């Protein structure tokens, strides 16, 4: 057998081993499909609030995985003058990003409401627009993001 044929057989064999290893290890690196989470809405109840006023972000989450539960983390970030709360309790924050975490059972759908309060804006400011970034993670993997605009006005 010629050297070229041996190299081709070796290359095909190595490629087959690589494809098999990728098939086996893919669930380790990408354990869940991002399509297992559906975010069907994400809206502000009021788009304009006064300083020290309150509004809420409402979103609907659905676990489309019929066999497994998953951990959903929602990250909220915005101007320093906005705070994010579950009820009246401030959400935990890391590096200026507020975090809400929930576990969804297989095929579960839930509607969540996160309160947003405008605090710390200087009196006398007529009007300010604040962009709110909402990022949805499924088992630590980013699935979707939404951008909302809240106006704070005296």
pTM above 0.85?
no
**Which among 135, 128, 131 has a CA at the least distance from the CA of 148?**
131
**Residue ranges of domains in the chain:** 1-30, 34-153
Region 36-55: mean pLDDT is: 93
**Which among 134, 123, 136, 135 has a CA at the least distance from the CA of 81?**
123
Percent of the chain past pLDDT 90, that is, above it, reads 58
> Left, alpha or beta for 140 (phi > 0: left; psi -120 to 50: alpha)?
left
Region 75-102: mean pLDDT is: 93
Residue 63 predicted with pLDDT over 70: yes
Identify which has the larger pLDDT, 35 or 92: 92
Give the integer Cα–Cα distance in Å for 87 and 81: 18
Reported as a pLDDT band with limits 50, 70 and 90, residue 98 is very high
Q: Return mean pLDDT, the chain.
A: 87
Residue 20 predicted with pLDDT over 70: no
Residue 149: Cβ within 10 Å count: 12
Residue 103 predicted with pLDDT over 90: yes
Give the integer Cα–Cα distance in Å for 85 and 148: 16
* Contact in structure between 100 and 125 (CB atoms under 8 Å): no
Residue 137 predicted with pLDDT over 80: yes
**Which among 154, 121, 146 has a CA at the least distance from the CA of 43?**
146
Reported as a pLDDT band with limits 50, 70 and 90, residue 26 is low
Identify the CATH assignment for 34-153 out of 3.30.420.40, 2.60.40.10, 3.40.1010.10, 1.10.3720.10: 2.60.40.10
pLDDT of res. 108: 96
Q: Which of 17-26, 58-67, 108-117 has the lowest mean pLDDT?
A: 17-26
Residue 101 predicted with pLDDT over 70: yes
CA distances to 62, 66, 70, 105, 136 from 38, rounded to whole Å, are: 5, 13, 12, 14, 10
For residue 54, what are the contacts with CB-CB under 8 A and spacing of at least 6? Answer: 115, 116, 117, 118
């Amino acid at each position: 057998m010629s050297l070229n044929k041996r190299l081709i057989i070796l290359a095909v064999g190595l490629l087959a081993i690589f494809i098999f290893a990728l098939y086996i290890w893919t669930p380790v690196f990408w354990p869940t499909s991002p399509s297992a989470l559906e975010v069907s809405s994400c809206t502000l109840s009021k788009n304009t609030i006064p300083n020290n006023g309150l509004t809420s972000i409402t979103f609907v989450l659905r676990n489309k995985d019929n066999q497994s539960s998953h951990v959903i983390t929602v990250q909220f970030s915005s101007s320093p003058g906005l705070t994010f709360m579950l009820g009246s309790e401030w959400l935990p924050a890391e590096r200026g990003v507020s975090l809400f975490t929930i576990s969804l059972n297989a095929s579960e759908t839930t509607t969540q409401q996160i309160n947003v309060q405008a605090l710390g804006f200087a009196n006398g400011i007529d009007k300010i627009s604040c962009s709110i970034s909402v990022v949805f993670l499924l088992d630590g993997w980013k699935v979707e993001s939404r951008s909302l605009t809240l106006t704070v006005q005296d």
